[in-house]
Amino acid sequence: MHSNVFLKTRGLKKESYFIIILAMLFFVGLNPLLAQSKPDPKALIKQVDDLSDFSGKDFSAVFTIVTQKPGEKDSVTQARIFRRDLKKQFVILILLPEVNKGQGYLREDDNVWFYDPTSRKFSHSSMKENLQNTKAKNSDFTLSTFAEDYTVTKMTDGMVGKFPVWILDLKAKTNEVAYDRVVLYIRKDRTMLLKREDYSVNGRLMRTTAYPKYVELEGRLLPSQILIVDEVNKGEKSQITMAEQSVSPLPDRVFTKAFLEQVSR
Amino acid sequence: MAVIFKIAFRNIKAHRSKSLIIGILLAMGAMVLVFGTAFINATEEGVRSTFSDVYTGDIFISGISSDGPVSLFGVTSTSGMAETPIIPEYDKVLSIVKSTPHLKKTSSLATGFSQVIRENGDQMTKEDSQNKIKPQDRFLFLFGIDAATYWDLFETVEIVAGEKLKPGQSGIMINESQFYKFSDWFEKPLSIGDPLLVQGFSTIGFRLRELPIVGIFRLKEQGTAPEQLAYIDIESLRVMSGMTVGANEPIHLKPEETSMLSIEDPDELFSDDIIVTSETSEHFDVSSISRELSKPSQIDPLKPDEGAWQFIVGKADSPQNINRIISSLNKAFEKEGIQAVAGSWQAAAGPYGQSVDVVRLIFAVAIIILSIVAIIIIMNTFVISVIERTSEIGTMRAIGAGKGFVRTMFAAEAMALALVSASIGAGLGLLIIEILKSLRIEATNPFFLVLFGGQYLNPIATAGNVFFAIVLMIAVGFIAHLYPVSLALKIQPVRAMQEE
């Protein structure tokens, strides 16, 4: 009796081994197909970077940033941004509020300069700094370089609103970036960044940024409305609205200190 | 009663050695208390007068912030940088201040943070931070002052080179040690009149100003204020801190530019299709930017708001009147419905005053612990001394003395001994204080400077403190004898007489 049961179980075991091996072979065979449906994360973030890369062209637009803080009047900053992505150059020129009009930021090689027309002096700034009193960083207005600055540590999928997304967990390669860890929510059916979460070195969620509206310009996709939510100071947020976008060529002198000095003279 | 005291003094004499031991302990207790409280007084008064003389004054008036307490160093807020409020209805506040009795002198000011930038705008290098200057040394805490009244209020600022800011003059005065650090960092010796490029931070953004070095100063009481303290003219401070006319100009926005701000969860934004509009590039002409920027502005960013002040500091005619002035000012502000508040030097010094207060508190606690230990030793000795006299108590009871009489007799003995010893001890305490005063012990570092409350150790004994020490020692004597006496009285007189 006992031996019979033993034999039966052994027989079952043999069968189950067979099924498992068969299943494994099936999945191994299927693997290339699966791999095809799940994109390469590195290539995906490169695609996100390339979406708004105007290399070979110049780009300029006006950004209006409205910042809300509890118990305070909304503050408004309007700036014209000039970009020459091929050389990683950019200029941010403050148009509003009037008291800060003519102030500017310039990226020259690896340096970021801040210019104040009231004293006609430059001081050193960085990509990591906030633009004026807004929740936006200087780096939010430049060409995104996720593929260059970060490595993907995890890739899962999920939903943002009604859109299925790839969720990519990114870890910074350098300390030149504003945030050590970034989580990107990239739309599956058409590659575009819908949301990003920025974390500090100790893992605290610092801000959440949503990109709910895009504009197509010369085959490139640019977020035209952005919402930045400060997760540390509850209730503080900034809305960025882009207008007057253009890819007309800009004179070389735009990307110089002299331009900032002359333009607000 | 006279009989009781007669017996008490006779007993003290009869038990000379025990009385001497207890007497010495009580005297020492009184001495420690007199000296300790005099030391605490000195620290308290010294710290107050030091801060008051150097930069806080006795009375501090500021606006009210919902983010936290306001001090000369801004708003202590958990959420980071909060705007320091401007005194509302300044003219009204000033007239209240001027009409307040006992408020001798006042001056208005505003403060702000800034950092010094090298002329070529370079960032600090690693080598700089290792050898010449630490990042925090580049920061300046700016006191934007009204030179016409400020120096009259704070005379103790010592000028090492150059001069004090004059009314109407634009420039900066920096601390001697900062001056040398900057010279090292700039790799050129700085001198009076040289421009210093200063970047001010405020809630409206950055502002760069080039200010000539007018003077180099040394605070008479180093350690009371941060080294980074620098004095500048109020107009420059106002420009750098964004206290300019029209800083809050109205800007008209389109509805779509604020439509997302009311949304709580960013994911809500993705319920509809993402709008992708195709735009053709417009022609953009750079020269239009210059035209736009050169449009005559209604707002001059350099025109400071003449009426904007953040604080008023003042000095009382006498330290005794400080609290009276503060409460009278606060009542007046409340009556007029003005959102301003008056406080003491501690409110003005803010976090800086608190850290000093902590040091002082630790020292006060140490003295209190020492006193408690002394009291326990005294009590213990008392207990032993009374228990040793159990047979004497038994004999007294046997020959007809009631329990009440024995208790009163011992109480009188303990209190008489305590009164005499504590008075001697208090006298010795006063003598030590006088000796220490005459020795003029100097504070050698900032820690002692704060602890001494000034350059020299100068304990202040008051009649109240001496009285307190004597009364406390009498109380100690009284309480200490109660327990052993009641123990001795519980024993049968016959058995008590047999105890040795």
In terms of Cα–Cα distance, which of B108, B127, B128 is closest to B116?
B128
Q: What pLDDT does B471 receive?
A: 92
| Residues of B with Cβ-Cβ distance to A217 under 8 angstroms | 278-279, 281
- Tokens found for residue A45: 């973030």
Given a contact cutoff of 8 angstroms between Cβ atoms, the answer to whether B106 and B314 are in contact is yes
Query: Is residue A1 very low, low, confident or very high in pLDDT (cuts 50, 70, 90)?
Result: very low
3-class state of residue B179 by DSSP? helix
| Alpha carbon distance B451, B356 (integer Å) | 8
Residues of A in contact with B123 (CB under 8 A): 111, 124
Query: B284 and chain A: CB distance < 8 Å anywhere?
Result: yes
Band of pLDDT at residue A19, cut at 50, 70 and 90: low
| DSSP class of A120 | T
pLDDT tens per residue across span B314-349:
999 988 899 999 999 999 999 999 999 999 988 888
Provide the terminal-to-terminal Cα distance of chain A, rounded to the nearest Å: 103
Q: How far apart are CA B473 and CA B28, in angstroms?
A: 10
Q: How many CB atoms lie within 10 A of CB B438?
A: 8
User: Which one, of B410, B429, B399, lies nearest residue B30 by Cα?
Assistant: B429
Query: Region B96-105: what's the mean pLDDT?
Result: 91
Residue B500: band (very low, low, confident or very high) from pLDDT cuts 50, 70, 90: low
Task: For residue A35, name the pLDDT band (cuts at 50, 70, 90).
Answer: very low
SS3 A29: helix
Q: What are phi and psi of A214, to 5 degrees?
A: -125, 160
* Among A116-125, B8-17, B446-455, the least confident range: B446-455
Q: Which residues of A touch B261 (CB under 8 A)?
A: 66, 68, 74, 227, 237, 239
Least confident of A46-50, A178-182, B496-500: B496-500
When pLDDT is averaged across residues B460-486 and rounded to a whole number, the result is 86
pLDDT in tens, A152-163: 999 999 999 889
A162 touches B at CB < 8 Å: yes
Kindly report which listed range (A249-258, B199-208, B428-437) carries the lowest average pLDDT score.
Answer: B199-208
pLDDT in tens, A176-208: 888 999 999 999 988 899 999 999 988 999 999
CB-CB: which of A97, A216, A227 is closest to B266?
Answer: A227
Q: Is B378 helix (H, G, I), strand (E, B) or coil?
A: helix
Task: Please state the rounded mean pLDDT for residues B120-139.
Answer: 66
Stretch A95-106: mean pLDDT, rounded? Answer: 86
Over residues A58-93, the pLDDT tens digits come to 889 999 999 888 777 788 889 999 999 888 899 999
Residue A215 is classified by DSSP as: E
Provide the whole-model pTM: 0.66
Q: Do residues B391 and B498 touch, judged by C-beta distance below 8 A?
A: yes
**Lowest-confidence pick of A207-216, B80-89, B217-226, B429-438:** B217-226
More confident residue, A83 or B136: A83
pLDDT, chain B, mean? 82
SS3 A158: strand
More confident residue, B176 or A6: B176
CB under 8 Å to B196, separation ≥6 — which residues?
Answer: B116, B172, B174, B182, B190, B210, B211, B212, B213
**Cis peptide bond N-terminal to A97, omega within 30:** yes
What is the structure's pLDDT at B204? 66
CB A223 within 8 A of CB A214: yes
Taken in order A212, A216, A220, A222, is the CA torsion positive or negative? negative
Helix, strand, coil fractions of chain A, as percent rounded to 5:
25, 45, 30
Question: Which residues have a Cβ under 8 Å from the Cβ of A222 and sit 6 or more positions away?
Answer: A51, A52, A61, A214, A215, A216, A242, A245
Residue A3's pLDDT is what? 43
pLDDT of residue B281: 57
Separation in Å, CA of A192 to nearest CA in chain B: 10
The structure tokens listed for B127 are 């080598």
A221 min Cα distance to partner chain B (Å): 8
User: Once rounded to an integer, what is the mean pLDDT over residues B1-16?
Assistant: 82
pLDDT score for B59: 94
Q: Which of B33, B36, B30 is closest to B451 using CA atoms?
A: B36
Max mean pLDDT among A203-212, B72-81, B383-392 falls in A203-212
| Of A184, A198, A193, A188, the residue nearest A228 (C-alpha) | A198
- Phi/psi at B351 (5° precision): -60, -30
For chain B, what percent of residues have pLDDT higher than 70?
Answer: 86
Nearest Cβ partner for A121 among B197, B278, B299: B197
Judged on CB neighbours under 10 Å (0-12, 13-18, 19+), A248 is middle
CB pairs under 8 A between A and B: 185
**C-alpha to C-alpha distance for B277 and A213, rounded to whole angstroms:** 9
pLDDT band for position B272 (50/70/90)? Answer: confident
Cross-strand partners of A166: A157, A186
**What are the structure tokens assigned to B71, written together?**
């001090």
Say whether B180 sits in a helix, a strand or coil.
helix
- Quick one: pLDDT at residue A6? 44
Pick the range with the lowest mean pLDDT from A109-113, A212-216, B116-120, B124-128: B124-128
The helix (run of H) or strand (run of E) holding residue A78 is: strand A75-84
| Residue B314: per-residue pLDDT | 94
Residue owning tokens 């209020």? B153
Q: B444 is written with which tokens?
A: 């050698």
Segment B224-230 shows an average pLDDT of 82
At residue A5 the predicted structure's pLDDT band, cuts being 50, 70 and 90, is very low
pLDDT value for B299: 54
Distances (CA, A) of B216 to A193, B184, B249, B343, B363: 55, 16, 38, 30, 35
pLDDT, tens digit, 9 for 90 and up, residues B158-191? 899 999 999 989 999 999 988 988 888 888 888 9
ipTM associated with this complex:
0.75
pLDDT at B128: 60
Q: What are the sequence ranges of the domains in chain B?
A: 2-51+354-498, 103-252+289-316
Torsion of CA B145, B148, B153, B155, to 10 degrees: 90
The verdict on A51 touching B (C-beta cutoff 8 Å) is no
- Chain B 298-317, residues with CB within 8 Å of chain A CB atoms: 298-299, 301-302
* Least confident among A221-230, B69-78, B169-178: B69-78
The answer to whether residue B205 scores a pLDDT higher than 80 is no
C-alpha distances in angstroms, A13 versus A4, A6, A19? 14, 10, 10
Over range A15-38, report the average pLDDT: 56
How far apart CA B261 and CA A136 sit, in angstroms, is 14
Query: Which two tokens mark B51?
Result: 């801060």
Question: Which range scores top for mean pLDDT: A5-14, A29-38, B15-24, B37-46?
Answer: B15-24
Q: What is the pLDDT of residue A180?
A: 92
Q: What is the pLDDT of residues B470-479, one digit of tens each?
A: 998 888 888 8
Tell if the CB–CB gap between B247 and A123 is shorter than 8 Å.
no
| CB atoms closer than 10 angstroms to residue B180 | 13
Give the Cα separation of A106 and A113 in Å (integer).
5
